[in-house]
């Protein structure tokens, strides 16, 4: 399965992507922006594939840049809740020179469209560290709006951090 965008394509994740996923997710500029900051391992990722992807609890794609055909990161919907028609969005671009090029926004638009039209979801939400301004901006440009600020919601490396919840709903107009 592939989701075609203007400058990127989302390719369904395969086991062959494991080394890239582990490398990207362990990059310092990625890892320290996630709530789960333990190092990623191939074993851990394969167990995620087995328990989450293969059981339909999550869908995950590789982000491929069309211009170079290079794989640059990954985007997913997790904890797909078919009763309440919602799921949680996650993303990382692991190639540092590809940050801030609009790819995150496009990947978010493609996977949320897929979540609404193919999976039949009503709500896609995300949690982001308040200090991650680039991510918040990208999500906002992809049509997510802020639902709430949760103050001092987690402690990472000894620092109390605020969390922002954002969401996007089926049938909402596309952001300009
Ligand atoms: C978060 C992430 C997916 C966003 O994707 P991206 O392709 O880098 O971001 P985009 O280009 O779509 O959008 C970034 C926006 O923030 C702006 N921006 C860039 N750096 C910024 C900064 N330091 N502070 C504020 N805004 C910034 C850009 O100008 C752009 O806004 P614009 O479209 O109005 O010009 C990507 O940066 C990433 O993977 N980062 C590392 C891991 C991470 O943070 N993951 C998310 C955890 S919740």
Query: Domain spans of the chain?
Result: 2-124
Answer whether residue 51 shows pLDDT above 90.
yes
Q: Mean pLDDT, to the nearest integer, of 24-31?
A: 97
Q: Is the CB of 74 under 6 A from ligand 1?
A: no
- 86-93 and 123-129 beta bridge pairing: parallel
What pLDDT score was predicted for residue 15? Answer: 96
CA distance 90 to 103: 14
Q: Which atom of ligand 1 is nearest to the CA of 101?
A: 11
What pLDDT score was predicted for residue 38? Answer: 92
Answer whether residue 173 shows pLDDT above 80.
no
Mean pLDDT of the chain: 96
Q: Is the CB of 132 under 6 A from ligand 1?
A: yes
Q: What percent of the chain shows pLDDT beyond 70? A: 98
* DSSP track, the chain: -EEE-SSEEEEE--GGGHHHHHHHHHSHHHHTTSS--SPP-HHHHHHHIIIIITTTS-EEEEEEETTT--EEEEEEEEEEETTTTEEEEEEEE--GGGTTSSHHHHHHHHHHHHHHHTS--SEEEEEEETT-HHHHHHHHHTT-EEEEEEEEEEEETTEEEEEEEEEEETTPPPP-
Q: Is the CB of 46 under 6 A from ligand 1?
A: no
Q: Is 139 a catalytic residue?
A: yes
Answer whether residue 137 shows pLDDT above 60.
yes
Are the C-beta atoms of 10 and 103 separated by less than 8 Å?
Answer: no
Answer whether residue 176 shows pLDDT above 60.
no
Q: How confident is the model at residue 22 (pLDDT cuts 50, 70, 90)?
A: very high
Q: Which atom of ligand 1 is nearest to the CA of 127?
A: 48
Answer whether residue 78 shows pLDDT above 90.
yes
CA distance 34 to 132: 10
Answer whether residue 174 shows pLDDT above 80.
no
Which pTM value belongs to this model? 0.96
Q: What would the pLDDT profile of 143-172 be if each residue is shown by its tens digit? A: 999 999 999 999 998 999 999 999 999 988
Q: Is the CB of 125 under 6 A from ligand 1?
A: no
- Superfamily of the domain at 2-124: Gcn5-related N-acetyltransferase (GNAT) (3.40.630.30)
**Separation of 56 CA from ligand 1 center, angstroms?**
29
Q: Is the CB of 64 under 6 A from ligand 1?
A: no
What pLDDT score was predicted for residue 66? Answer: 97
What pLDDT score was predicted for residue 171? Answer: 85
Q: Indicate the top mutation candidate among 7, 65, 100 to test ligand 1's pocket, ranked by most ligand atoms within 8 A of CB.
A: 100
Catalytic residue among 76, 103, 114, 139: 139
**Separation of 54 CA from ligand 1 center, angstroms?**
30
Answer whether residue 175 shows pLDDT above 90.
no
């Amino acid at each position: 399965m592939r989701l075609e965008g203007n400058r990127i394509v989302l390719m369904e994740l395969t086991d062959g992507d494991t080394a890239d996923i582990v490398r990207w997710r362990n990059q310092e500029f990625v890892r320290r922006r996630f709530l789960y900051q333990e190092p990623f391992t191939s074993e851990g990722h394969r167990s995620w594939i087995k328990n989450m992807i293969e059981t339909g609890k999550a869908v995950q794609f590789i982000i491929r840049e069309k211009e170079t055909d290079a794989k640059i990161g990954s985007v997913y919907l997790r904890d797909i809740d078919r009763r309440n028609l919602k799921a949680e969005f996650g993303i990382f671009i692991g190639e540092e020179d590809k940050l801030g090029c609009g790819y995150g926004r496009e990947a978010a638009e493609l996977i949320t469209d897929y979540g609404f039209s193919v999976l039949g979801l009503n709500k896609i939400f995300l949690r982001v560290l308040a200090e991650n301004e680039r991510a918040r901006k990208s999500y906002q440009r992809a049509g997510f709006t802020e639902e709430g600020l949760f103050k001092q919601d987690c402690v990472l490396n000894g620092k109390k951090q605020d969390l922002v919840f954002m969401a996007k709903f089926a049938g909402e107009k596309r952001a300009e």
